[in-house]
Structure 1
């Protein structure tokens, strides 16, 4: 892929740096389509993709697969669709409404009316960064983070929405809460979200 910066990460991994979520998706698609058995980890992030291979394997086929990736062919948001029921009574709902210059009901309508894509996961197990947040709700993080945000809290920050999978510190603006379990270490699939999945929020 033209324009991608490639950085070695030790002897077994490459970090590809690109300029858009679509290019990230194109690299992920290309590596998966190549069906390389040596690939042990494929980790997309906001503007990077880390590809790791098994011990003793060459990175040459990974380089070749990414070189052939077409940034116009990336598929964003083609995974499983999750519907998350939300009680929109978050501590920052009024703040979000005031900042956006709209009513709390309009915040709810905007947030629940959009479809989101899990761009990448990080920060905590099961924590997905969900792009697709309507422009009026794209607001900065709180000036001071909370020391403890309850599990199931639905928040917004910058261009993303999120659901806190477990109790943790956090500075996202909280607009609601859900009972949906985002991370269960005892489950066959511990994390509910996988990059590329789609998410819709439903007011209850």
Structure 2
């Protein structure tokens, strides 16, 4: 905790508009994140350093089940994924993160004291989004987009629920390796 606090203090002292990204919060030891509470709390400064311009971003899979449930509920009621609004799930996400023992936010004072401004869900990707990822990857490799290959790669991906095949299990994570099968670089 001391090392984390020292690292944050040093960076913000050097640049007031520092951005800190904490990835995989769900794998972080419960309570560790509370070490940064003073920097997010409502203080003008701590030891002569102001943290009000610093940005903290926390990435986590906590709440993923809830996000999936909401997305599936929308789909089953005939609504588009794009119709989901932050207000449709923000409260449920904060409660889910706070109560999840496998979350770095488990009973965290950051949530308890409302120090997190926004919970932004990463919605599951549909087939059409997956095809967009494949096209972008083809272009980034310098290939002309071949819609036959785009469709073949997309069909090889796994989706859930199994019967309906609505959302990609892995998002776009395996697109890179799937494309390797079709191109010999």
Which TM-score applies when normalising by structure 2? 0.25
**Higher share of residues assigned helix:** 2
**Higher share of residues assigned strand:** 1
Return the index of the structure with the highest Cα Rg.
2
* Higher RCO (C-alpha 8 Å, min separation 6): 1
